[in-house]
Structure 1
Amino acid sequence: MLTGKSPPLGEIVVFGSPCTVYRDPRKKNFAQRAQTAMIVGVGQETKGYRVYLPKDRVVVTTQHVKNIETLDKEQNLQVQRLYLQGDETLEGDEAPVSEAQASVAEATRARSKKKPWARERHVTRSVAKNAGGVTNETAQSQEAARDIVNSVTEHDPKTYQEAMRSKLKDKWLAAMAEELRALEDNGVWRVVRKPKGAHALHTKWVYKTKIDAEGAIERLKARLVACGNEQEFGVDYSVTFSAVIEMSSVKLIFVLARKWRVPAKHGDVPNAPLGVDNDSELVLELLKALYGLKQAGRLWNQLLHKTLIKSGFAQSLTDMCVYHRRREGILVVVGVYVDDLLVTGMEQQAVDAFFGELTELSIKDLGPASKFLGMRVSYNEDEGYDLDQELAIEEMLREHGMASVHSVRTPIGAESNEIDEASDELLPTSGGDGVVTVHKFQSLVGSLMWVARCTRPDIAYAVHKASRRTHSPTMSDWKLGKRIARYLAGTKSLWLSMKGQGALEEPLKVVAYSDADFAADKADRKSFVGALAKRGVLKAEYLESEKMPADVLTKALETPRLADLRVIVGLH
C-alpha cells in the first residue's frame, strides 16, 4: 500500500487450515512422529506457526509444519483484485486493519518454502466467482473457524490483559466488579501513605471458570490476590496452615448421612479470608486477610474454629477438621476443607439450623452435595451414595497428554516385578517438549494418588508401587505410571458405591481381611502385606505395610510365628 506495489499473496495461509505437525527428529522417544493439527496463528516470540493439536488439546509454536492449505491460482487472482479495490478505498478514507489480517500478512512473511508435491495433496476451499461474494464468504468462514477454535482452545486467563482480550471480557469484568464489592463490604483495606522502609506486596487477578458436577460452566470467578511469594518469613508471617480434611473422614460423613437418611449438605464461604483481621500491616494497608497471603488460610481457620467452638461444637480427636455437636440427643457433624464445609446430622432440621446460626461467617448453603473436592456425588435414598471422578480423570489425562490413549484391562502387570533396576534408564531432571522428566513423573503420580485416595481403591497397590521411586524414577516407572493412567482412561466412569446396608443395621460389625505376597520384589526381596477392614459392608480403612525375610533376625517375633519357625528348623 505504501510502496504502490502489490504484495505476493499466493502463499497466504487460511486461518484454521489443516496441516501436519512433525516432531523434532532429534528427540528420540516412542512418541508419535506426526499428527494432524490446525493453523491458529503465527508465533510472536519465535519463528513458526501457532498450531492447535486436537489430540493433546494444546496450542504450540513450531516450525515443523507441512501440508498447509493455501490459496490456489484462481483464488489468488481474486484476492489481488480485491486488494486493488481496497487501494482506492484507502486513498479516500483509511480503514483499520484487523488483527486477523495482520496475522495473515505476518504469516506470509514467516512462511517457509514447501515442496511442490505437497501442494497437490491439499484440500482447497471453493471460492465464488463473484468478487463481492468472496469477501463476505471468506469473512464468514474465517469468523466461524475462529469461533470454533477459540471455543476449544480458550482457557482461563492468566493475566488481566488476557481477560480483556477474551471473548468473555464482559463476564470477567462483572466477576471482578463483584470481587471488588466484596472487598469493600468486608473492609479489607484502607488507602494510606506507604511508611518509610515498608515492604509492599503486589497484587494480581486470578480467574477461574467454575464447573458443575456435569461439566457445564456454572459461573466465572475472579479473585484479587496478594503476591504471597514476595512475603518474607519471620517478617510478614511466621506460621502457615490450611484446614484439610482427611478423605477417610469425608467418606465417614457420607456414611453417617446414609445411616441417618439425611443428605449431606455442601457449605461454602464465598470470601473466607476477607472477614479475618490481619495480624500484620501491609500496604495498601490490609485491615483483614486477603487471598494469596501465606497466613490467610491459617487466620481463616482460627476464626472458623473459634466460631464453631462458641456454637457448642467439639473438635474430633482423630481429625482436626471434623467437628461434632450433640443437642437434645441430636448429633450434627461438620467437615472442613479450607472454606468448603460438608454437613450432616441425625435430623434435617438440625442441619438447616446450622447454616442459620453462623450468619457472621456468611456461609452459603449450596444444598445437598453434588460435587465435593472434585468428586461427583450422587445420592439416592434407597441406594445410598455413589462417588466418582470421571471429570477429574479426564482433566488429568489432558494435562499429561494422554487424552486419546488406548486403555488396558489392569493397572499393573506381572512384568513390574521382573525389572532389572541396574540397567534401567533414569529419567532426566530437565528437558524440552516431549521429554519425560522427573517432574512430569512426580506430577503424574501425585494426580494418581489423589484419585486413588478419593474413589479408586482398585489402583491403590499400583500407585503405591509407582510412588516408591519418585526421588529417582526410571523409564520403567514412567511406563507403570502411564499404564495406570491408561487403565483409568478405560474405567473412568466407574464409581465408589456406598450403599450402606450394614450402616442401617444395629449393631454394626467390623470385618477384617489380610493377604500378602512373599518376597515378590526381585530387587530387595520385600513382601507386600495388605489389610482391609470393613464396618458392616462399608469399607472403613485400608492399611498397607512391607516386611522382609530378614525380620526374623532383627525384630521380635509373635508366638505363632516363632512356633512355625521352630518346626521348620526341627526344634520341637
Structure 2
Amino acid sequence: MVYRNPEKKNFAERAQHGMIVGIGEETKGYRVYLPKDKKVVTTQHVRNIETLDKEQNQNVQKLYLQDDETGDEEETAGNAAAAASNSKKKSRMKGKKKKGYTRERHVTRSVARRAGDQAAEAAEQEESSGDVVNSVTEVDPRNYGEAMRSRQKEKWLKAIAEELRALEDNGVWKVVRKPRDARVLHTKWVFKTKLDAEELIERLKARLVACGNEQEFGVNYHITFAAVIDMTSVKLILVLARKWRVPAKHGDVPNAYVKAEKEAGLTIYINLPQGMVISEEVLKLVGVESAKELVLELQKALYGLKQAGRLWNQLLHKKLIDIGFEQSLTDMCVYFRWRNGVLLVVGVYVDDLLVTGTEQSAVDAFFGELKEFSVKDLGQASKFLGMRITYDDADGYNLDQEVLIQEMLKDHSMEHAHGVRTPIGPEWNELRGAECEKLPVTGGAEVATVKRFQSLVGSLMWVSRCTRPDIAFAVHKASRRTHDTTVDDWKLTKRY
C-alpha cells in the first residue's frame, strides 16, 4: 500500500509504504500505519491496495502497538521542528489562518496519542468481522474462476456446497441423461459478501442462477410479471409501527424461488453447475459413462428464470390468503388481517417480509404461521432493501443508504471523491446543442459504456426514491440521456 502525502514539495518523497489498520472515525478515509515514521495517520490517499491474510494482520497490530509511543515522540518532535522553521511565515498570517494551522497540528498529534486505543478497537473489529483489512479491500468474485483464485477460496467453496445442498434438499432438480436436441440453459454462480447494518461481514453467499436470457417465449416460459411492494408502502408500514409502538420485524425466506413449483407443461433443462460432483453411483443409475452426458431437469423454479419471481409470488399469495389475510387494493404486495380485534400488516418484497401490528404478540407469532417456508425471524428491522433502519422511542425511524452508496462509489472507482453542495450545476444547460463524444456501447470492465451509464442512473433512481429525494430532479435529467449518452453525460452523472 502506498500513502501519498499531498503536502510534500516537488523534489521530496511523494509516497511511503503503509499498512491499512482500520477506517477513520472522525474523518473519512483509511487509518494507515507508516513503518518508516512509526505513526498512524488517517488519509484518503491510498493506492495499490493489497489484501493481507489474517496472520499478516496480526503482525501489523503488534507493530502498531510497539511503535505507538515512539511514533508519538517522533511526530511531536517533527511538529515542533516544523513550527520553528516556519515561525516567521506563520507570524505574517492572519488570525483565521493561524487558528486553522494550530487545529491541524492538534489533530495530527491526537491521532498519534489515540494509537493504542485505536489498535485495540481495530483488533476487536477484526474478531467480529473476521478480517479488518480483507473486509475493506476484498472484492466479490464475478464468476466461479475468480472465486477459485480468491484468498477466500475455501469459504466460497463452503458457500457453494451449502447452496447445492439446499437446492437438492428442496428437490429442485433430478439428474437425467441429456435428451437429443434438448434446449439446455447454462448456469452461473453469483457471489456476494453479505454485510449487516453496521457494514461488517455477516457471511459469504453463493447463489446458483439459470441464464434466463437464453429462454424462449412459449418454449420454456410464458408469463413473467411479478409485483413488488412500492417504497411508499414500506414507509407507511414503518409509520404504522411508530404509531402503534410495535417495532416492525423483518423476515427472510431462504431460497424462496426454489420453493415454488415450475410452470405446468414446461420442461426445462440446465447444465451441471460448476463445482457439482456426480458420484459413480449416480452415473451407473442413469446409465451413462461421463458427467458430460448429464443435465438437470428442473422440478421447481430456480433463480434466474424469467418466470421464477411470479411463481414464488403466487405461492406466497395463496398461503397468506389461506391464513386469513386480505390483499390491499392499492398495493398488491401489502396484506392485512383483522382477528380478535388485532390488526396485522405485512409488506412483501420478493423474499423479504416487513411485519407490524397493533399487538407485539401477534407480530411475534406471525412467522410461525409460515413455518413451511422456513422463514427466518431477523428481529426488529435494521436493514431492508438496502436501507439501514434505526429506531428509538423518542425520534422514531430513520432511514439511510450509506452502505449502498459506498458500494456504488467503489463500483465506479470514486471512493476518494469529494462531495459537493448541490447535486446539479449549470453544466447540464451548457450541453444542449453541443457536439460531444459518444460513449461506446461495449468495452472492458474499466471502460465507461452506455450500459454502465444506464446502470448508474438506475442505482441513483433507486436511492432518490428511497432516501434521497433531494437528488430526484438531477437524476431525472440524467435519465433522459440513457439512449444517447455522451462522455460529458457520464462525467456529470458521476457528480451525484
In the alignment, residue 334 of structure 2 is paired with which amino acid? V
Alpha-carbon distance between aligned partners in 2 of 1:388 and 1:203, rounded to the nearest angstrom: 35
Preserved contact between residue 328 and residue 334 of structure 2 (Cα < 8 Å): yes
Preserved contact between residue 426 and residue 472 of structure 1 (Cα < 8 Å): no
Preserved contact between residue 411 and residue 459 of structure 1 (Cα < 8 Å): yes
Structure 1 portions without partners, runs of 5+: 1-15, 20-34, 39-52, 60-146, 485-572
Identity of paired residues, percent?
Answer: 67
* Aligned residue in 1 for 2:205: 221
Closer/same/farther in 2, CA of residues 249 and 479 from structure 1, 3 Å limit: same
Alpha-carbon distance between aligned partners in 2 of 1:200 and 1:431, rounded to the nearest angstrom: 27
Q: Residue 470 of structure 2 is aligned with which of 441, 455, 458?
A: 458
Q: Residue 188 of structure 2 is aligned with which of 204, 220, 227?
A: 204
For residue 204 of structure 1, report the CA deviation from its aligned partner. 3.0
Alpha-carbon distance between aligned partners in 2 of 1:240 and 1:36, rounded to the nearest angstrom: 55
* Aligned residue in 1 for 2:434: 423
For residue 264 of structure 1, report the CA deviation from its aligned partner. 0.8
For residue 315 of structure 1, report the CA deviation from its aligned partner. 1.3
1:404-449, CA deviations, whole angstroms, 9 ceiling, x for partnerless residues? 1222112223x25752612252533347677654434333222211
1:364-416, CA deviations, whole angstroms, 9 ceiling, x for partnerless residues? 11111111111110011221000011111111112122221222112223x25
Closer/same/farther in 2, CA of residues 205 and 464 from structure 1, 3 Å limit: closer
1:303-360, CA deviations, whole angstroms, 9 ceiling, x for partnerless residues? 0111111111111122111111111221111111111111111111111121111111
Q: CA RMSD in A?
A: 3.0
Alpha-carbon distance between aligned partners in 2 of 1:220 and 1:447, rounded to the nearest angstrom: 23
Alpha-carbon distance between aligned partners in 2 of 1:449 and 1:37, rounded to the nearest angstrom: 40
Q: Alignment length, in residue pairs?
A: 352
Closer/same/farther in 2, CA of residues 58 and 462 from structure 1, 3 Å limit: farther
Closer/same/farther in 2, CA of residues 383 and 476 from structure 1, 3 Å limit: same
**1:282 and 2:268 equivalent?**
yes
Alpha-carbon distance between aligned partners in 2 of 1:311 and 1:331, rounded to the nearest angstrom: 14
Alpha-carbon distance between aligned partners in 2 of 1:239 and 1:205, rounded to the nearest angstrom: 25
More moved, 368-377 vs 352-361:
352-361
1:488-547, CA deviations, whole angstroms, 9 ceiling, x for partnerless residues? xxxxxxxxxxxxxxxxxxxxxxxxxxxxxxxxxxxxxxxxxxxxxxxxxxxxxxxxxxxx
* Aligned residue in 2 for 1:10: none
Alpha-carbon distance between aligned partners in 2 of 1:253 and 1:174, rounded to the nearest angstrom: 37
Alpha-carbon distance between aligned partners in 1 of 2:336 and 2:399, rounded to the nearest angstrom: 23
For residue 236 of structure 1, report the CA deviation from its aligned partner. 0.6
* Aligned 1:381-460 pairs, distance under 5 A: 381-413=393-425, 415-416=426-427, 418-419=429-430, 421-425=432-436, 427-430=438-441, 436-460=448-472
Preserved contact between residue 390 and residue 399 of structure 2 (Cα < 8 Å): yes
In the alignment, residue 268 of structure 2 is paired with which amino acid? L
Task: Give the TM-score normalised by structure 2.
Answer: 0.65
Alpha-carbon distance between aligned partners in 1 of 2:258 and 2:431, rounded to the nearest angstrom: 55
**1:177 and 2:177 equivalent?**
no
Closer/same/farther in 2, CA of residues 444 and 56 from structure 1, 3 Å limit: farther
Q: Residue 363 of structure 1 is aligned with which of 375, 378, 382?
A: 375
Q: Residue 237 of structure 1 is aligned with which of 209, 218, 221?
A: 221
* Aligned residue in 2 for 1:138: none
Alpha-carbon distance between aligned partners in 2 of 1:461 and 1:258, rounded to the nearest angstrom: 30
* Aligned residue in 1 for 2:306: 294
Alpha-carbon distance between aligned partners in 2 of 1:483 and 1:165, rounded to the nearest angstrom: 35
Alpha-carbon distance between aligned partners in 1 of 2:132 and 2:203, rounded to the nearest angstrom: 21
Q: Residue 385 of structure 2 is aligned with which of 373, 382, 387?
A: 373
Q: Which has the higher contact order (CA 8 A, sep 6+)?
A: 2
1:194-234, CA deviations, whole angstroms, 9 ceiling, x for partnerless residues? 33332222333322111111110001112222232322221
Q: Residue 144 of structure 2 is aligned with which of 142, 147, 160?
A: 160
* Aligned 1:67-146 pairs, distance under 5 A: none
In the alignment, residue 319 of structure 1 is paired with which amino acid? D
* Aligned 1:283-362 pairs, distance under 5 A: 283=269, 284-362=296-374
For residue 245 of structure 1, report the CA deviation from its aligned partner. 1.3
* Aligned residue in 1 for 2:243: 259
Closer/same/farther in 2, CA of residues 150 and 267 from structure 1, 3 Å limit: closer
Closer/same/farther in 2, CA of residues 329 and 222 from structure 1, 3 Å limit: same
Task: Give the TM-score normalised by structure 1.
Answer: 0.56
Closer/same/farther in 2, CA of residues 379 and 238 from structure 1, 3 Å limit: same
Alpha-carbon distance between aligned partners in 2 of 1:229 and 1:453, rounded to the nearest angstrom: 28
Alpha-carbon distance between aligned partners in 2 of 1:397 and 1:157, rounded to the nearest angstrom: 18
1:31-90, CA deviations, whole angstroms, 9 ceiling, x for partnerless residues? xxxx9899xxxxxxxxxxxxxx9768899xxxxxxxxxxxxxxxxxxxxxxxxxxxxxxx
In the alignment, residue 342 of structure 1 is paired with which amino acid? L
Preserved contact between residue 442 and residue 450 of structure 2 (Cα < 8 Å): no
* Aligned 1:482-501 pairs, distance under 5 A: 482-484=494-496
| Corresponding residue SS for 1:344 | strand
In the alignment, residue 422 of structure 2 is paired with which amino acid? T
Alpha-carbon distance between aligned partners in 2 of 1:198 and 1:473, rounded to the nearest angstrom: 40
Closer/same/farther in 2, CA of residues 148 and 233 from structure 1, 3 Å limit: same
Alpha-carbon distance between aligned partners in 2 of 1:172 and 1:425, rounded to the nearest angstrom: 44
* Aligned residue in 2 for 1:470: 482
* Aligned residue in 2 for 1:273: 257
Closer/same/farther in 2, CA of residues 56 and 241 from structure 1, 3 Å limit: farther
